[in-house]
Structure 1
Amino acid sequence: MQWLVFCAKILICISIAYANIQCSVSDKETALVTALLVNLERTVEANSPPDPSVLLALTLGSSIDTDAKILLTQQLKEDLAMKVSQDLPFSSGRLALYTLALRSSCCDPTKIPTAKGDINLVYMLEEKTQEEIASIENTQSPLTTLYQVALDVLALCVMSSPEAFQAAYTLSKVIPPNPSGHSFSVDTAAIGVMGFTCVLAMDGVPPQMLKAMKMAHSTLLTLILSELKSDGVIGNIYTTGLAGQALTSAQSYYTPEYWNCPCTLQQVLQQIPLGTFAQPGPASQVLPFLNGKNYVNVKDIQCSYNANPITVEYTIVNNLVGDNFKSFIQISVNEGSTLLQVMAKAAEDNPKEFSFKTEETSFGPFVTTINHLSGSNNDKTFWQFFSGSTPLNEGVGVYKPSNKEHILAIFSKY
């Protein structure tokens, strides 16, 4: 019944030709979007507190003001370095926004320079997200909010972190199957949809998590569409920007008749001259949508640091049980790839010898099996990883090998 209600509302919005018309700003209306973008650029000043959402909007909004983007990027890096050096608290969602914003401007979030050395923002986000996951598993509630956890999922996915799988799966478990009457706001649902859309497109989604993720994704999409008004507004005019981003990101998951995108676009455009989006917050959320973009598109932005290939040497050794073996392979991956990604590439190049299995834990993916040999609690055996002769202290989903580094996986006893 609920679906019939919001479908009826959509059909009322017939002043714009429906569904198959491209949802984009016409040449006559481009000036409205440009004016909104210029106003947002002007909020970037030397003495203003930096806002990562603004940088995201400038990048996805196709800003040509390079000076504004450079200044804001530098401000965000300096603000981050200052807060980390002073041990000031950072919520997971705030770290996620910084990660998305810096990545959008092609500033490597894993190498933020400070006086004390580089900061790996992704590693910090992974740690904060693990705390959110633990809280949800223990209390059914996050440390912060579900909105922030959804941001965590999205940012981790954009950075291709395997931690995105567990974060998305945990989030899916606290989303009720029936969207009516629950406490999810349109904004939270929108970020959640973008997070799940991103994760579902990743390679290697654990099969045991897939069903729950798809169900949660569908639930949040249903919630957003149920908030669609007859005039094209979704929720209210201020939530329409994020909701439009979400529906744009997930358009392959529903049929066109459920949302007349041009109708929503026209409603947003009509509000610009009225000053509805004059403040940076509302402008930041609506500008990507007006440009046909969404936060998931940050992953598609090509950055030079992402294209820098490195070579990693990888050896697996078993001298402990059964038929002993030792296999070596050289892997070419992009700089910044995790050890898990190196292992996946090795398995792709030589599945006979380098296939492996993992299981998700609260600390990230744990390698249980390599080359069909599994660790055993009864025998106290496991796969231990080394860089040269030094044991690794980070998990395979976190550790990032450097160029020409030799990684060994040795079947060991504890």
Structure 2
Amino acid sequence: MLSLVIITSLLAFTSSKPCETEGSNRELLLSLNKDLLRSLESLDGLPNPSVHLALRLSNYHNLAKENEHLNRLKSDLHTDIQSSLMNSQSVTGLLALYSLALKSSCYDLNTITFSVNDKSETLLTHLKKQMEQEKEHIAFSHRPLTNYYQYSLGVLALCVSSIRVNNHVSHKLIKAVENENFKHGDTESVDTYAMAGMALQCVKDSGSYVHSAAELDAALSLIKQKLLASRRSDGHIGNEFSTGLAVQALVAMGSEVAECAASMEAMRTAARGNIYHNPMAISQTLPALHKKSYLSVKNKECLNEDDTLVLEPRDPVVVLPSKTKVKVMVEVVTSSRATALYSVDVPKGSSLLEALELLKGKNVGFTFEIESSLWGPFLSAVNDEQARQSDRRYWHLASDGTALTQGISDFKIEEAQKITIKNTSY
């Protein structure tokens, strides 16, 4: 029965409909590629290894700019990871993305080292140690130190670097799939299923898993079923921001993806509507539109690459604040379920972050703190209460009861609404 469901869903996934011309699709790919290259010009925050990975998996290149970014990764990001390791922080996902980015540039990972407690060890050695710590944490608490998305990313990064993944590490991921443990709150995480699919497909391809081959195949089949069952009527899988990784995973797991498949068209429509203006979102979508996946890094050869991508100079765009104001109600729900309600008028088109800054400036008792991430700033504390990953908590954001799929700097306030900020466990 499961096979029938998968086969039927695959037929739906690959079925095509009228779509844009090949030339138009190519122009869109070039446009997204250039958007990523322009994002490198901002020196705010740390260089993003996911952006580098997407640029390297593209068919089109500006090798000079890519090399500049590679050097920033090896200096700025490397220093940040070094500091985290020295402070015994879990950085599984960042280490994994860093190694994938370096490998996508055919860089010798054995030359990248970190020094902790006067002991110098390679990046991949540190990643293996992080994975062992994650595995042990699952053994006694039934969840990783970080989360299963980062855990999957760690398995994938080791595997594509031809490092044999500990069978117990792989087994923990297979069991998590089997037990359907990939949830964010009450919602299944399409992103996590996608990353786990790429990771376990790599493990299968490597032939290194000596436990039951049947359970590995069953896990991959269940992941494929979950992804396909999450496809919406508009073609997106999960939502606009999880579709790229989902398509990557389906490609990695051997699904045929037609050029005009519904999910490909959904990503193109979203891209043309400027939904993917966040570099992180583009970085996960662009490989999928090229019908590639992070698994492609395993056999990447940096030879005879197209180096014709040129960034045309652009006049700076000055956005004047809107004279139209909209009322935003902000509800804060603490971990004890105490609530506080605030009101603020903001210019139409403001980001949620700008709205929260205006509310904070009114001195009505509302305060917040933010931390940086590869996706941009996120709320870490509201009204002096924290929601930390180490405590398995986060600030859940909703607009008129609908969960936000964008971060606070990306979500735009276009009309009057109620924003709920709720301290939530996971």
Q: TM-score range by the shorter chain?
A: 0.5 to 0.7
Residue 163 of structure 1 aligns to a residue in which SS? coil
Q: 1:195 aligns with which of 189, 193, 199?
A: 199
Give the 5 Å matches for 1:215-294: 215-251=218-254, 262-294=261-293
Residue 174 of structure 1 aligns to a residue in which SS? helix
Give the equivalent residue in structure 1 for 2:215: 212
1:151 equivalent to 2:153? Answer yes
* Partner Cα distance (1:226, 1:259) in 2: 18
Give the equivalent residue in structure 2 for 1:41: 37
Residue 144 of structure 1 aligns to a residue in which SS? coil
1:108 equivalent to 2:112? Answer no
Determine which structure has more spread, i.e. the larger CA radius of gyration: 1
Residues 180-209 of structure 1 show CA distances to partners (whole Å, capped at 9, x for unaligned) of: 998540000000000011110003331x24
Residues 203-228 of structure 1 show CA distances to partners (whole Å, capped at 9, x for unaligned) of: 3331x242332222222111101001
Residue 110 of structure 1 aligns to a residue in which SS? helix
Shift of 1:90: 4.7
Q: 1:50 aligns with which of 47, 51, 63?
A: 47
Structure-2 change in CA distance of 1:183 and 1:149 (3 Å): farther
Give the equivalent residue in structure 1 for 2:317: none
Matched-pair identity in %: 30
Question: Cα RMSD between the aligned structures?
Answer: 3.4
* Partner Cα distance (2:119, 2:22) in 1: 48
* Partner Cα distance (1:172, 1:261) in 2: 32
Give the equivalent residue in structure 1 for 2:125: 123
Question: Number of aligned pairs?
Answer: 294
Give the equivalent residue in structure 1 for 2:318: none
Residues 135-177 of structure 1 show CA distances to partners (whole Å, capped at 9, x for unaligned) of: 1112211111011101011111101111254322111122235
Give the equivalent residue in structure 2 for 1:393: none
8 Å CA contact 2:182, 2:188 repeated in 1: no
In the alignment, residue 261 of structure 2 is paired with which amino acid? P
8 Å CA contact 2:251, 2:293 repeated in 1: yes
Structure-2 change in CA distance of 1:12 and 1:147 (3 Å): closer
Residues 316-358 of structure 1 show CA distances to partners (whole Å, capped at 9, x for unaligned) of: xxxxxxxxxxxxxxxxxxxxxxxxxxxxxxxxxxxxxxxxxxx
TM-score where L is the length of structure 2:
0.62
* Partner Cα distance (1:55, 1:278) in 2: 16
1:62 equivalent to 2:65? Answer no
Unaligned 5+ residue runs, structure 1?
18-22, 305-414
8 Å CA contact 1:10, 1:230 repeated in 2: no
In the alignment, residue 82 of structure 1 is paired with which amino acid? T
8 Å CA contact 2:93, 2:151 repeated in 1: yes
Give the equivalent residue in structure 1 for 2:346: none
Unaligned 5+ residue runs, structure 2?
304-426
* Partner Cα distance (2:60, 2:120) in 1: 28
Give the equivalent residue in structure 2 for 1:142: 144
In the alignment, residue 23 of structure 2 is paired with which amino acid? D
8 Å CA contact 1:55, 1:101 repeated in 2: yes
TM-score where L is the length of structure 1:
0.63
